[in-house]
Amino acid sequence: MVLRRLRTVAVVAWYALLLLAVVAMWKSNAPQFIYVAF
Amino acid sequence: MLFLAIWFWVFAAVAVPVYWLCPQRFKLYWLLAASAVFHYHFAGPAGMAPIIVLATVTFFVAQAVSGESGRWLFHAMWMVLVAALAFYKYQGFVLGNGVAALSAVHVSLPPWLTSWRQPAAPLGISFFTFEFVHYLYEVRVKKRAPIRNPFHFAVFSIFFPCLAAGPIKRFPEFVPQLAALRNPSSAGAWAGARRVIRGLFKKVCIADLTVEAIKVLDGPSQYNAPIVIALAVLQGFRIYYDFSGYSDIAIGLAQLLNLRVPENFDRPYFSTDLREFWRRWHMSLSTWIRDYIYIPLGGNRAHRAFNLVTAMILCGLWHGAAWNFALWGLYHGAGLAAEAGVRRLWPSLFGDGWAPRLFGWLICYSYVTYGWLLFFYPLGTVFHMSEGLLRWSYVG
């Protein structure tokens, strides 16, 4: 039970970290997705 | 900017929760309204008109061709769809090359022809025309029942997560879900949110960073092997993380609405042969090419090499109206045909042992990676890069 909760907390923290990295590196002039031009 | 626009995330922050709060009988209409708002914002009325016209005609034609009669109507309609795609996507390419060829033999051309400007292609035209051709083919040739509910067909046509760049949906899997729209479970919504975050991370933190690395390396006075290899590998990473990131966001958003759409990637760079690569790269397009071009051409039954090369050249041209895309398609078609020949003559080369698999992976990865040079650079530059592959010394 404790292990499962720890795992859930770790997963949430991992995705929060990914989201933080996305926000930190967000650029308003980022290149468009390649396939949208196709 | 689409999924990278702040507007989109404000839109999604309203559209998805309101969808969850909608009573079941209104969910379909909300999905349609949200998709129309998304489409209007990014394409404008002029960009919406072609899909509305083509979707309306396709919907009624499919009803007409589902019976015994209507063979000619079916052929006329898929040709109209292909012609619409060609009109918006290839007229500049065809006219440009035609004008250049006629000018070379001193044929005088009217000024309106030489100054012709191609209109902007409507958002997602390469994707929705393929979905409509698939729909007509399945109804006419595979005898599947057509979609009777126009609202179902409208959502199939402009479903906002997949509108701009796929994944290319299949109506027998997608449309039945619209008849019983329900909220996702909390686990399903969480899985969708994780997928969206992974997609954003792939795009913003890997693909866009790779673009910066490419900018640093690109444009030396003379290409040499280390630079060309590094550029090819980086372009391969860039396109994978860019498009699989896009696909993750689209699939994750659909999951948040409790809808399943096709997968696009399955770790393609781990493929040990080209056939496997094309089963794992842009899967919704490669299966479309297989089902609606390669198999109708004759598939494996007759003149297989010709069918492979033709299907892959068309696949290349689908990506854009330029000679380098055609050559990229020819390159992969020739590779697939050669691989099929080698497989027939020496099947042991494709065994399950670690040595053939490692050897196969090395050949396949190198072949695919060199192909990205054809995909991303004009032919003249690829020629200089290929010369540079023979040069290991550094020239600054």
Residue B219: helix, strand or coil by DSSP? coil
Contact at CB, B2 and A36, closer than 8 angstroms: yes
CB contact under 8 A, B205 and A33: no
Q: Which of B254, B341, B358 is nearest to B304 (CA)?
A: B341
Domain containing A19: what range? 2-37
- Interchain contact, B209 vs A33, CB within 8 Å: no
Q: How far is A8 from chain B (nearest CA, A)?
A: 11
Instruction: Compute CA B135 distance to the chain's CA centroid, rounded to the nearest angstrom.
Output: 17
What's at B283, amino acid-wise? M
Nearest to B235 by CA among B269, B285, B265, B262: B269
Q: Which of A15, A19, A33 lies closest to B242 in CB terms?
A: A33
Name which of B89, B126, B127, B197 to mutate to probe chain A: the one with the most chain A Cβ atoms within 10 A of its Cβ.
Answer: B197
Round to whole Å and give the CA distance between B110 and B127. 34
How far apart are alpha carbons B327 and B321 in whole angstroms?
A: 11
Nearest to A38 among B126, B200, B211 (CB): B126
User: Domains in chain A: how many in total?
Assistant: 1
| Chain B residues touching residue A27 (CB < 8 angstroms) | 204, 208
CB contacts < 8 Å between A and B, how many?
68
The pLDDT tens digits along chain B (396 residues) read: 688 888 999 999 999 999 999 999 999 999 999 999 999 999 888 889 999 999 999 999 999 988 778 889 999 999 999 999 999 888 888 888 888 888 888 787 777 777 777 777 888 899 999 999 999 999 999 889 999 999 999 999 999 999 988 899 999 999 999 999 999 999 999 999 999 999 999 999 999 999 999 998 887 777 889 999 999 999 999 999 999 999 999 999 999 999 999 999 999 999 999 999 999 999 999 999 999 999 999 988 889 999 999 999 999 999 988 889 999 999 999 999 999 999 888 887 777 888 888 999 999 999 999 999 999 999 999 999 999 898 887 655
Whether residues B242 and A34 touch (CB distance < 8 A) is answered with yes
Q: Which tokens in the block code for residue B336?
A: 């697939």
Of B164, B198, B204, the CB nearest to A36: B164
CB contact under 8 A, A33 and B3: yes
Q: Which among A14, A18, A22, A35 is the top mutation candidate for probing chain B, defined by the most B β-carbons within 10 Å of its own β-carbon?
A: A35
Gap from A6 CA to chain B (nearest CA, Å): 17
Q: From the CB of residue B225, how many other CB atoms can be counted at a distance below 10 Å?
A: 15
SS3 string of B279-334? HHCCHHHHHHHHHHHHHHHCCCCCCHHHHHHHHHHHHHHHHCCCHHHHHHHHHHHH
User: Per-residue DSSP letters for B69-94?
Assistant: S-HHHHHHHHHHHHHHHHHHHHHHHH
Q: Which of B278, B273, B233 is nearest to B359 (CA)?
A: B273
